[in-house]
């Protein structure tokens, strides 16, 4: 690549950033009716342009097959009729959600008579960097638009033609609703240098939401100057307390592991109190093994369950995302919480117990972004929490933590209203 090319890319990205910043000033004050109109127009356009979208998508599929991409990954790329219907349905659902922008928290009247409150406002310009699935183009754009933000989307090169075609649909929807076309921009180059610009343009981008594997997140974290709402590991724990209901615990544990192996809320280590282990573990282990889950246990677990592998230090640390489960028997809730404090990725942990004090202690003291009582860890999802949709799950401590919905894409400003109060003179 010549230096001239680099300059051209830098200039392109600068222009995209400036266009986004300009659009952000309009979209943050757009009415809910106007934003919803754009989202509904996009849904209709997806349905009306099904064959063109699939023709563009076919180019990506062909290239992927030619490049020997795994079948599972090729499937994820496909804009099938079902995938397009799901996108259109998602757009209509997001259009119908309440607009978070402009909502006021409680108003406090100060002793001098002035009112103090906080109002929700958009973050500004959001960059989304994602891999593979082209549905993210629509989902992310819709959530950012509904919450009054401008968006710059950068999808994977495998989905380039699909994303460009979806970007054209989004643009038409914006124009149909009288909103700035640059409210959502899909980057039109596969040059990897574009990402480097996007994550360092602090004047034009307020936050980056990466959607992808650990490798992507690590790369972006190392180089970004723009703050990231990032999602790292989900090494999630379920603890069956001595005061658990045996059958309930077994049902919860089976669901926590087997609902889906590949999601971040999947239980990766099961902790069981030694007093209840003989009643809970043998049947539970059998049920899991019947479903094809490989079990790895501590010594005490091995004594109760036959034919399982020993668990090593590495097992406590691993997010398998696979039909494998590590099991450890502990002597107290404190030992369970110590294990979690040492090995957890602070994503989602759960206790099964009928003891209120144990439930309260666990929920207060475990320092994870989600802490459950009597529920499987696999509930870690914005829809399940009632957020209506999610842009991702944040493992950050600052700003949004856990599942991030529309509210996580906003910030607050202080609004004070008085009648001529003066400082230092009341």
Applying CB under 8 A, the residues found at the interface with a copy of itself are 25, 28-29, 102, 108, 110, 114, 116, 119, 121, 123-124, 206-207, 227, 245, 248, 251-252, 255, 259, 341, 359, 363-365, 367-376, 378-379, 384-386, 397-399, 401-403, 411-425
Closest approach of Cβ 317 to a copy of itself, in Å? Answer: 15
- Sign (positive or negative) of CA dihedral 352, 354, 355, 361: positive
Q: 177-216 burial, b for 16+ CB within 10 Å, e for fewer? A: bebbebbbbbbeeebeebbbbbbebeebbbbbbbbbeeeb
Handedness of CA 281, 282, 288, 293 (dihedral sign): positive
Nearer Cβ to a copy of itself, position 1 or 422?
422
Task: Please give the distance of CA 175 from its chain centroid, rounded to a whole number.
Answer: 29
Please, which residue, 110 or 214, has the CB nearer to a copy of itself?
Answer: 110
Query: Of 52 and 417, which has the nearer Cβ to a copy of itself?
Result: 417
Q: Of 344, 20, 397, whose CA–CA distance to 229 is shortest?
A: 397
Rank residues 191 and 390 by Cβ distance to a copy of itself and give the closer one.
390
Task: Give the nearer residue to a copy of itself in terms of CB position, either 62 or 334.
Answer: 334
Residue 388 phi/psi, 5° resolution?
85, -30
Place of tokens 């599942």: 403
Q: Which is nearer to a copy of itself, 93 or 255 (CB)?
A: 255
Closer to a copy of itself by CB, 19 or 301: give it: 19
Residue 120, both tokens: 């929700």
Q: Give me the least distance between CB of 294 and a copy of itself, in Å please.
A: 22
Helix (H, G, I), strand (E, B) or coil at 199: coil
Find the radius of gyration of the CA atoms of the chain: 25
CB atoms under 10 Å from CB of 160, counted, come to: 20
Number of other residues whose CB lies within 10 A of the CB of residue 246:
14
Instruction: Report phi then psi at 227, rounded to 5.
Output: -60, 145
Q: Minimum distance between the CB of residue 395 and a copy of itself, rounded to whole angstroms?
A: 12
DSSP letters, 269-325, are EEEEETTTHHHHHHHHHHHHHHTT-EEEE-HHHHHHSTT-EEP-HHHHH----SSEE
For the bound state, the minimum distance from the C-beta of residue 132 to a copy of itself, rounded and expressed in Å, comes to 24
Determine the longest span between alpha carbons in the chain, in angstroms.
79
Q: How far is the CB of 248 from a copy of itself (least distance, A)?
A: 4
For the CB of residue 1, give the shortest distance to a copy of itself in the complex, in Å: 27
Quick check: 9 and 191 in contact, CB under 8 A? yes
Least distance between a copy of itself and beta carbon 252 (Å): 6
Quote the least distance from Cβ 179 to a copy of itself, whole Å: 16
Cβ of residue 421: shortest distance to a copy of itself, in angstroms? 6
For a copy of itself, the closer CB: 8 or 356: 356
Q: Tokens 């342009």 appear where?
A: 49
The smaller minimum CB distance to a copy of itself, of residues 84 and 244, is found at 244
């Amino acid at each position: 690549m010549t230096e001239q090319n680099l300059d051209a890319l830098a200039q392109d990205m600068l222009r995209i950033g400036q266009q986004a910043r300009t659009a952000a000033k309009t979209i943050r004050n757009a009415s809910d009716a106007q934003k919803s109109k754009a989202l509904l127009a996009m849904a209709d356009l997806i349905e009306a342009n099904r064959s063109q979208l699939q023709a563009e998508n076919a180019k990506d599929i062909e290239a992927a097959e030619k490049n020997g991409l795994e079948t599972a990954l090729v499937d994820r790329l496909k804009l099938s009729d079902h995938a397009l219907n799901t996108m259109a349905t998602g757009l209509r659902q997001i259009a119908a959600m309440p607009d978070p922008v402009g909502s006021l928290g409680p108003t406090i009247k100060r002793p001098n008579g002035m009112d103090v409150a906080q109002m929700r406002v958009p973050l500004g310009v959001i960059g989304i960097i994602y891999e593979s699935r082209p549905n993210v183009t629509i989902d992310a754009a819709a959530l950012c638009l509904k919450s009054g933000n401008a968006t710059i989307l950068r999808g994977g090169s495998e989905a380039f033609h699909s994303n460009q075609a979806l970007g054209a649909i989004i643009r038409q929807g914006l124009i149909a609703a009288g909103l700035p076309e640059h409210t959502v921009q899909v980057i039109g180059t596969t040059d990897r240098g574009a990402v480097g610009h996007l994550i360092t343009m602090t004047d034009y981008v307020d936050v980056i939401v990466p959607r992808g594997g650990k490798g992507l997140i690590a790369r972006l974290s190392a180089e970004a100057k723009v703050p990231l709402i990032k999602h790292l590991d989900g090494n999630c724990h379920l603890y069956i307390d001595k005061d658990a209901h045996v059958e309930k615990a077994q049902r919860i544990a089976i669901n926590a592991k087997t609902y889906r192996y590949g999601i971040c809320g999947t239980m990766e280590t099961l902790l069981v109190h030694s007093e209840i282990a003989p009643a809970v573990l043998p049947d539970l282990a059998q049920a899991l093994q019947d479903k094809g889950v490989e079990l790895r246990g501590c010594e005490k677990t091995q004594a109760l369950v036959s034919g399982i592998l020993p668990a090593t230090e590495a097992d406590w640390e691993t997010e398998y995302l696979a039909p494998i489960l590590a099991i450890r028997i502990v002597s107290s809730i404190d030992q369970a919480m110590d294990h979690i404090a040492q090995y957890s990725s602070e994503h989602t942990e759960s206790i099964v117990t009928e003891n209120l004090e144990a439930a309260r202690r666990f929920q207060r003291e475990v320092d994870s972004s989600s802490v459950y009582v009597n529920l499987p860890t696999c509930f870690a999802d914005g829809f399940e929490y009632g957020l209506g949709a999610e842009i991702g799950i944040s493992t950050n401590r600052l700003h949004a933590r856990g599942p991030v919905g529309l509210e996580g894409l906003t910030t607050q400003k202080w609004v004070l209203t008085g009648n001529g109060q003066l400082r230092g003179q009341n």
